[in-house]
Amino acid sequence: FVRSLYAEYLESQMSLADYLPEKISSASQKLVDCLLQDGKILICGNGASSANALHFSTALIHQYKVERPALPVIVLSHDCTVLSTSANIGEYAHVFSRQIQALGSDKDLLLILTTNGDSNSLIHAVDTARERGMEIIVLNGHHGGALSNHLGPRDLEIQVAIPHAARIRETHLFILHCF
């Protein structure tokens, strides 16, 4: 079973090698441009995508491969009081958009992680980020879901076109390490 998982993982990664590098490079440049303009990166995702977001923020705040200053990043899915309040008052669909209203500016960039692109909370986050004049990068999954159809021409989507959520999350983590 484990060998078959290795084979599935390697096969999925090789299938992405032809089209992901250019998109990863473009997204990386957007991130660098944001930081050079004294902007910050706001990042969000639900469930396990939130864990990848937290991992990425740790790499930005602390050194990853080389010693460097800490970089400004805020994980919008990390504040348990905001999350529980949003759920308690029945407004989870706005959990990220409310934080973007409070923290986001036109110098900032919103980075979204999702395996299926069908979460209303992420769609509302895109709307609010767009209203604030923010750049938007989405690491998405197989078909992109409703979120893919909601993105504008300035937004950059990196769609991991494989059907398994675990392989998508692994690839998102690889992409985050490339960033």
Backbone angles phi, psi at 45, to 5 degrees: -175, 160
Band (174; pLDDT cuts 50, 70, 90): very high
Say yes or no to pLDDT of 177 above 90.
Answer: yes
Per-residue pLDDT of 132-149, as tens digits, reads 999 999 999 989 999 999
Residues ≥6 apart with Cβ < 8 Å to 171:
12, 13, 16, 20, 160, 162
Q: Using a CB cutoff of 8 Å and minimum separation of 24, what contacts does 9-13 make? A: 9/167, 9/170, 12/162, 12/164, 12/167, 12/171, 13/171, 13/174
Q: What is the mean pLDDT of the chain?
A: 93
Per-residue pLDDT of 64-84, as tens digits, reads 788 889 999 999 988 888 888
Lowest-confidence region among 7-21, 31-45, 134-148:
7-21
